[in-house]
Structure 1
Amino acid sequence: MAEPRHRYSTVSLLLHWVIALAVLAQVLLITAHEATEGVQAREFVNLHKSLGLTILVLTLARIGWRMANPALPLPVGLPRWQRWAARAVHVLFYVVLLAMPLTGWLASSASGREIIWFGLFDWPLLPISGGRPVAGQLMDVHEAVMKLLYVLIAVHVLAALKHQFVNRDNVLRRMIPIIPRRP
């Protein structure tokens, strides 16, 4: 019988942390965009769009990987509501990480604003029209989903810290293998 896994695969770890860092970079890019004007502001938003579409692709890869490589089991003795909450937060993360770039892509497409992926090639626009009014509505959804993302990140981080420092059950070590294993 195979020994049970105590940490996620290298692919899972890479996808998790690359997406997490990309999301952080997105926040910094849009903040920089809002704090500047003109050409510099457009550069920040173009990078934001490119990175957003990259997050979309990476999230699709992560979902595919997750389907082929199921998550590690939750700790024994975890209350049912915490099991449900853990699964709900992870599913909502996938929904949000798909919805955010899709609504941004749809908004750019509706307004006819080109997307040049990291200055390398034109990303195709989606067949949607409606101009600025539709793009504005899509950006409202984009921003609402962003707020949900912030809540999910807070819940996720707090839960990880609770497992590490209160439960002391090695759950955080699954995603950060350099943390020493607790007996």
Structure 2
Amino acid sequence: MAEPRNRYSGVSLALHWVIAFAVLAQVLLIAAHDKTEGALSREFVTLHKSVGVTILVLTLARIGWRLAHPAIALPDGMPRWEKLVARTTHVLFYALLIAMPMTGWLASSAGGREFAWFGLFDWPLLPVGGGRETASRLMGVHGLVMKGLYVLIALHVLAALKHQFVNRDNVLHRMIPLIPRRP
């Protein structure tokens, strides 16, 4: 019988960390937009939109990869409720990482605000009407999703640290190759 996998695949690791750093970039881009004005501010927003739709595409790729390559087993000693919370958190991450760029894309589309994906080609607008009012409501939803994503990120990081320093069960080793496996 084959030994169970104890690490995620290179593709899973790459998608996880590229998406994580892209989300961090989004926070920094909006902070830069808020601190600037004029053309520079608009450039930060355009870059934010490009990174956002990239997160959407990467998240869809990650879901496809995950469906074809199921998650590795959680530690045997982990309580059932923690396993349920871990799996639920991952599903919520996927949902929010889709909802976040979709609400932004819908808002841009409703407002008729086109953009070029990293300056390479025009990203298509969705067939959504409603103008500024609809765009504003969608941006409100975008902001709520962002807050939910922040809560999930905080829970995710705290849980990873708990597993590393309290449980000492190699969960963090599975996603950060540089952390040595504990015996």
C-alpha distance in structure 2 between counterparts of 1:164 and 1:130, whole Å: 49
2:122 matched to 1:94? no
Corresponding letter in the other structure for 1:118: F
2:33 matched to 1:6? no
Deviates more, 1:59-68 or 1:69-78: 69-78
Cα deviations across residues 111-155 of structure 1 (Å, max 9, x unaligned)?
Answer: 000021001100000000000000000000000000000000000
C-alpha distance in structure 2 between counterparts of 1:59 and 1:174, whole Å: 19
User: What is aligned with 1:81?
Assistant: 81
1:75-154 to structure 2, matched below 5 A, reads 75-154=75-154
- How far the C-alpha of 1:177 sits from its partner, in A, is 1.4
TM-score (normalizing by structure 2): 0.99
- How far the C-alpha of 1:2 sits from its partner, in A, is 2.2
Q: Which consecutive residues of structure 1, in runs of 5 or more, have no partner in the other structure?
A: none
- How far the C-alpha of 1:5 sits from its partner, in A, is 1.0
Cα deviations across residues 29-71 of structure 1 (Å, max 9, x unaligned)?
Answer: 0000011000000000000000000000000000000000000
- How far the C-alpha of 1:8 sits from its partner, in A, is 0.3
- How far the C-alpha of 1:79 sits from its partner, in A, is 1.2
Q: Which consecutive residues of structure 2, in runs of 5 or more, have no partner in the other structure?
A: none
C-alpha distance in structure 1 between counterparts of 2:6 and 2:64, whole Å: 21
2:179 matched to 1:179? yes
Corresponding letter in the other structure for 2:67: M
Cα deviations across residues 148-183 of structure 1 (Å, max 9, x unaligned)?
Answer: 000000000000000000000000000011111111
User: What is aligned with 2:66?
Assistant: 66
2:157 matched to 1:157? yes
C-alpha distance in structure 1 between counterparts of 2:107 and 2:55, whole Å: 17
C-alpha distance in structure 1 between counterparts of 2:162 and 2:79, whole Å: 14
TM-score (normalizing by structure 1): 0.99
Q: Secondary structure of the equivalent of 2:122?
A: strand
Q: Secondary structure of the equivalent of 2:26?
A: helix
- Divergent runs of 4+, >2 A: none
User: What is aligned with 1:42?
Assistant: 42
C-alpha distance in structure 2 between counterparts of 1:74 and 1:45, whole Å: 39
Identity of aligned residues (%): 75
C-alpha distance in structure 2 between counterparts of 1:5 and 1:85, whole Å: 21
C-alpha distance in structure 2 between counterparts of 1:48 and 1:69, whole Å: 30
